[in-house]
Amino acid sequence: MKQWLKDAVFYEIYPQSFYDTNGDGIGDLKGIIEKLDYIKELGCNALWINPCFDSPFKDAGYDVRDYKLIAPRYGTNADAKALFEAAHAKGIHVLLDLVPGHTSEEHAWFKESSKPEKNEYSDRYIWTDSCFSAGDGMPFIGGETDRNGTYILNFFKCQPALNYGYGKCREKWQMPTDAPGPRATVEAVKDVMRFWLDMGCDGFRVDMASSLVKNDTHHKKYTCAIWRDIAAMLDKEYPEAALLSEWNQPRQSLKNGFDMDFMLEWQGNGYSWLMRNYDGAIDSDPHNIGKAYFCADSGTGIDKFLDDWLPSYKATRKDGLYCLITCNHDTIRPSAGLTPDELKIAYAMLFTLPGAPFVYYGDEIGMRYLPLPTKEGGYFRTGSRTPMQWDNSANKGFSTAAADKLYLPVDDAADAPTVAAQQADPDSLWHTVQGVLNFRHSHRDLDSDAPFHVRFAPKAKGSYRPFAWERGKLICAVNPAREEAELPLKLEDGTRVLHVIGKAEVKGDELVLGAQSFAILG
């Protein structure tokens, strides 16, 4: 593992919604540069920036038109270089969002690949051999190009799949992964990575990392081989560059080249039971039913999380980091189902478990999820992508543009949380986040790869739902319920409370933890 990841705390920035410096209603890279001191003060020392490459923005930049060009609405390549340099000067690492599974249909590679004449890009994408051919079970588009074939999609209609080959070839137009076309695609992705790493980028978060090879095995044998090949290049040429996967399968990702993977929100999984567990369809109404672990009255135990997370952590703890997030650009904000007091102890737990924690911009102040019409392919996710709320000036300090020119509307409620208000309130969520992160940075027992053991995790019984865990010589404990709890931890003499949210007291060899409280002992 890269040494800098031990103490890394990431801040995810959706660039179009963070800070606008030129008054066009859209956030930009110069805006990120201006706010680096804020990010550092909060306690984050690494960034993940959502796609900022040139794009027609049919999927918010996840439809890349040019991998080597910053989208003009965010600035220039020179601005990106300036961001890397400014961040590094403050001890902040920067990951860019890499989309290797597909491009925009407007990408120059695809335009060349669409031509009927054979050229070097003909096999850069997956094409059938007839304009009337189906996609062997995968979504496909036909009738839109001069080439006599249909092309396979990786996600939306605007995202043709790049060709990494097939694990099992069932049609004559399908290529094995070692064919010249698929191998050229892998080398093209390496070339893109080198371009940004040479400019100063510190690595990549990889979108849909498991989506490369089609008809792959259950264990993604061929896709994993590609990532091992790419990781070998990075280890040789850029040994400090980090790879973070959107995969949520650490047994595959962390054992095959990635430094980090996410535990992501999937309906009914362990992470969902911690923070959300919404009922109903994935749409702009989260249907919160109060069953998540951190809902004070849920009665839900920590076992629903541990049963999912713990086996994966144990199986991969020597291979890389299985990371937890407050939220991301694809997920309904946790404030939709948790109160500020519930968020305080939820974040404290996330920030003190193994792995590098990720804070989604605005979660540190409890920004709300806003039900909004879809924007740039966001659909229900649009409500989690609204502009950052800096203060109570016009547009909540995000932009000087007219309100109707903003990328998305700001939360205009009278009690909408802002950075300025919460920084002025010592009891705010912002200060809670800052306090826990500062404690983490000052204690090596909370490093991302430091030892972890469950100390106390009873099955939920009524409202008795506390959870305690060890990180090195520290003991962390949380009680999400409304009733005080006594935790029989068999504490050693001299153990004391080092950090607390709510109330905590050591009595003999037990910890008395107040309602909706969190503590670190040592």
Query: What is the CATH classification number for the domain harbouring 138?
Result: 3.90.400.10
User: CATH number of the domain that 352 lies in?
Assistant: 3.20.20.80
Closest CA to 185 of 127, 106, 252, 121: 121
Instruction: Return the pLDDT at 278.
Output: 74
Is residue 110 in some structural domain? yes
Is residue 336 in some structural domain? yes
Domain that holds residue 516: 451-521
Q: Tens digit of pLDDT for each residue in 263-272?
A: 998 888 999 9
Instruction: Return the pLDDT at 281.
Output: 59
Q: Where are the alpha helices (DSSP H) in 92-155?
A: 108-113
Q: Are residues 63 and 128 in the same domain?
A: no
Q: Are residues 483 and 352 in the same domain?
A: no
Residue indicated by tokens 């340099």:
85
Using CA atoms, how far residue 113 sits from 65, 109, 516, in Å, is 14, 6, 58
Is residue 394 in some structural domain? yes
Closest CA to 47 of 89, 1, 13, 90: 13
What's the predicted TM-score (pTM) here?
Answer: 0.97
Is residue 422 in some structural domain? yes
Domain boundary among 139, 163, 187: 163
Is residue 494 in some structural domain? yes
Give the distance, in angstroms, between the CA of residue 3 and the centroid of all CA atoms in the same chain. Answer: 20
Is residue 170 in some structural domain? no
Strand locations in 149-300 (E)? 151-152, 203-206, 242-245, 260-262
Q: Which two tokens stand for residue 496?
A: 């004391």
Instruction: Return the pLDDT at 287.
Output: 72
Q: Are residues 338 and 455 in the same domain?
A: no
Instruction: Return the pLDDT at 282.
Output: 61
Instruction: Return the pLDDT at 280.
Output: 58
Q: Are residues 324 and 403 in the same domain?
A: yes
User: CATH number of the domain that 499 lies in?
Assistant: 2.60.40.1180
Where the chain has pLDDT below 70, the residues are: 279-284, 461-463
Q: Are residues 483 and 397 in the same domain?
A: no
Q: Are residues 32 and 93 in the same domain?
A: yes
Q: Which two tokens stand for residue 7?
A: 């103490």
SS3 499: strand
Domain boundary among 441, 463, 484: 441
Q: Are residues 435 and 457 in the same domain?
A: no
Q: Which two tokens stand for residue 55?
A: 């794009």
Instruction: Return the pLDDT at 285.
Output: 74
Give the count of beta carbons closer than 10 Å to the beta carbon of residue 56: 16
Q: Are residues 413 and 371 in the same domain?
A: yes
Cα gap 47→41, rounded to integer Å: 14
Q: Are residues 30 and 66 in the same domain?
A: yes
Q: Are residues 461 and 372 in the same domain?
A: no
Do residues 43 and 441 lie in contact, with contact meaning Cβ atoms separated by under 8 Å?
Answer: yes
Instruction: Return the pLDDT at 190.
Output: 98
Domain boundary among 389, 419, 441: 441
b/e code 31-43 from CB counts within 10 Å (16+ = b): bbbebbebbeebb
Number of domains in the chain: 3
b/e code 413-439 from CB counts within 10 Å (16+ = b): eeebbbbbbbbeeeebbbbbbbbbbeb
Cα gap 59→244, rounded to integer Å: 21
Q: Are residues 312 and 391 in the same domain?
A: yes
Instruction: Return the pLDDT at 283.
Output: 65
Is residue 218 in some structural domain? no
Is residue 205 in some structural domain? no
Amino acid at 374: T
Q: Are residues 315 and 400 in the same domain?
A: yes
